[in-house]
Structure 1
């Protein structure tokens, strides 16, 4: 069996979310003048001219996109020149992070709810350092909490405060509101303007037909970054005999000695992962799955540094 998480990994405080700002430099999430973020290459085709500004013209180099050739300068100088662009320095980034009872679980390093909160905080601090406007929505509890995107540290702190309070209010005895993810996505469609970036941090099991439809509609006018969160026990059951699960008033018993049961459980998890992968490919957006068995910054750094063409684990 997996080792149980330490108490500090079961709930997270506002102070811990604020301290996450010191780890921003460990993961290159957004472009800087000195370095181009791998995320831009993963979803530049979805920008469709939004979120980028003209930077300069230089002599054409092998490998440059021929669609960026500046024909006027080329005709005037009789030498091929190409336009360079850089990311818009102030785009709305809307961080949607789930804090529902289904995330209040962890079988190894930390709870999924803590992992989701850590990821939201790191992305928020990264975006603030990049001079973007920060806002978001904490959903999955009794009621959602929304912060409108603003370019201020205060806006991010308000979001993190809501996130910490929602995290600390979680318990194994509460039930997750039905369709919370779908409703959160509908809200995002109402408030986000074209060119915004919606960062989706949710339980891997939250993806349903209705939420997938909302994600597809949202992707029509905003860019997306998908970070589904899971635990090793979401993907495979150990042969540990009779296991009892409880959530609210509901209880479930599983005989994990059954090979057929374990196989069916693993196949169901594989279908969930494949559904996320198909969705990301269809929408041409980055997919960065996170697992509660490993440290969050390490996972993001590994996936963003993965060679082109290799799928993130």
Structure 2
């Protein structure tokens, strides 16, 4: 792949040192549960106990109210007294971060490019998962390639993921040929490698959601816990009244008169529909939705999302 390096200006390009330093910000937001504090996010620690998300613990005498499906018939036959199996949640669950680094993320009008926001969020989540003794892996995908890191409980696995992120980020350039199917292909690959009971966090452009991607996410939600983190920039939602804007790409040209109120209203309505589509999907799948914007600090946004979800659970 031909790279087009730019100066490592904060917010435009990611570098490994920055992503490693994200470990110091983990303490600022409670992403994962602790013995005394449970995360309000579904699946971030206490799973729905499905698939292989539980481990056998011990056998004890059957008590009224126990699930008859957990009766240990061998022990029951040997002792002539009903016994049941006890399980505890898997302590080292696989955490899989699917993170986009495509041309459409190589843009930003506020604090950072969307591609940088995605990389920072993936790093923060990765360090939090590693500190929680979970296995960490992921898939970094762009327009025409993806790189997969199998979940392991090791710092080397996380650093391998961050290295792939940085290489993909620094290879981004505005002349890359976009691929509308990249997100769907990445989700399909995730379905092939993820084991039941895993936690998958999806970091992608807000515009990436298509019918095919929705179908893949619905299939993933049957056996894994999902957290959706669509990324956007303020200019994705509202056109500034900047007069006549001219765009050119591969010989094609476009002119927009942003002083036209009707044009700005249509543009904003399309952005609103994208957001509602994500909300409908999250409600359908019963999974957390945490939209992220380039206009605000990452940790502040995550903290606000967690506060809202915690408040809703108390109602």
TM bucket (normalised to shorter chain) is 0.7 to 0.9
* Paired residues of 2:135 and 2:152 also in contact (CA < 8 A): yes
Residue 241 of structure 1: how far off its partner (Å):
0.7
* Paired residues of 1:95 and 1:198 also in contact (CA < 8 A): yes
Q: TM-score, normalised by structure 2?
A: 0.83
- SS of the residue 2:42 aligns to: helix
* Paired residues of 1:43 and 1:285 also in contact (CA < 8 A): no
Residues 97 and 35 of structure 1: CA distance in aligned 2, closer, same or farther (over 3 Å)? same
* Paired residues of 1:104 and 1:170 also in contact (CA < 8 A): yes
Residues 269 and 100 of structure 1: CA distance in aligned 2, closer, same or farther (over 3 Å)? same
Q: Which residue of 2 aligns with 1:136?
A: 138
Question: What is the alpha-carbon distance in structure 2 between the residues aligned to residue 70 and residue 20 of structure 1?
Answer: 49
* Paired residues of 1:12 and 1:167 also in contact (CA < 8 A): yes
* Paired residues of 2:47 and 2:53 also in contact (CA < 8 A): no
Q: Which residue of 2 aligns with 1:62?
A: none
Q: Which residue of 2 aligns with 1:213?
A: 215
Q: Which residue of 1 aligns with 2:111?
A: 109
Q: Which residue of 2 aligns with 1:238?
A: 240
Question: What is the alpha-carbon distance in structure 2 between the residues aligned to residue 186 and residue 93 of structure 1?
Answer: 17
Residue 251 of structure 1: how far off its partner (Å):
4.2
Q: Which residue of 2 aligns with 1:66?
A: none
Residues 114 and 246 of structure 1: CA distance in aligned 2, closer, same or farther (over 3 Å)? farther
Question: What is the alpha-carbon distance in structure 1 between the residues aligned to residue 55 and residue 30 of structure 2?
Answer: 20
Deviates more, 1:36-45 or 1:274-283: 36-45
* Paired residues of 2:47 and 2:197 also in contact (CA < 8 A): no
Residues 251 and 49 of structure 1: CA distance in aligned 2, closer, same or farther (over 3 Å)? same
Residues 1-313 of structure 1: matches in 2 within 5 Å?
7-40=9-42, 47-48=49-50, 51=53, 71=65, 88-246=90-248, 250-306=252-308, 307-309=310-312
Question: What is the alpha-carbon distance in structure 2 between the residues aligned to residue 36 and residue 85 of structure 1?
Answer: 19
Residue 145 of structure 1: how far off its partner (Å):
0.8
Residues 134 and 228 of structure 1: CA distance in aligned 2, closer, same or farther (over 3 Å)? same
Residue 48 of structure 1: how far off its partner (Å):
4.3
Residues 72-112 of structure 1 show CA distances to partners (whole Å, capped at 9, x for unaligned) of 7xxxxxxxxxxx99753101111000000100111111100
Q: Which residue of 2 aligns with 1:3?
A: none
* Paired residues of 2:33 and 2:45 also in contact (CA < 8 A): no
TM-align CA RMSD: 2.5
Residues 93 and 267 of structure 1: CA distance in aligned 2, closer, same or farther (over 3 Å)? same
Residues 218 and 256 of structure 1: CA distance in aligned 2, closer, same or farther (over 3 Å)? same
* Paired residues of 2:42 and 2:225 also in contact (CA < 8 A): no
Residue 213 of structure 1: how far off its partner (Å):
0.7
Q: Which residue of 1 aligns with 2:3?
A: none
Question: What is the alpha-carbon distance in structure 2 between the residues aligned to residue 249 and residue 19 of structure 1?
Answer: 42
Q: TM-score, normalised by structure 1?
A: 0.83
Report how many aligned residue pairs link the two structures: 282
Q: Which residue of 2 aligns with 1:61?
A: none
Residue 252 of structure 1: how far off its partner (Å):
3.0
Residue 53 of structure 1: how far off its partner (Å):
6.4
- SS of the residue 1:134 aligns to: strand
* Paired residues of 2:42 and 2:287 also in contact (CA < 8 A): no
- SS of the residue 1:90 aligns to: coil
5+ unaligned residues in a row in structure 2: which ranges? 1-7, 67-85
Residue 42 of structure 1: how far off its partner (Å):
8.9
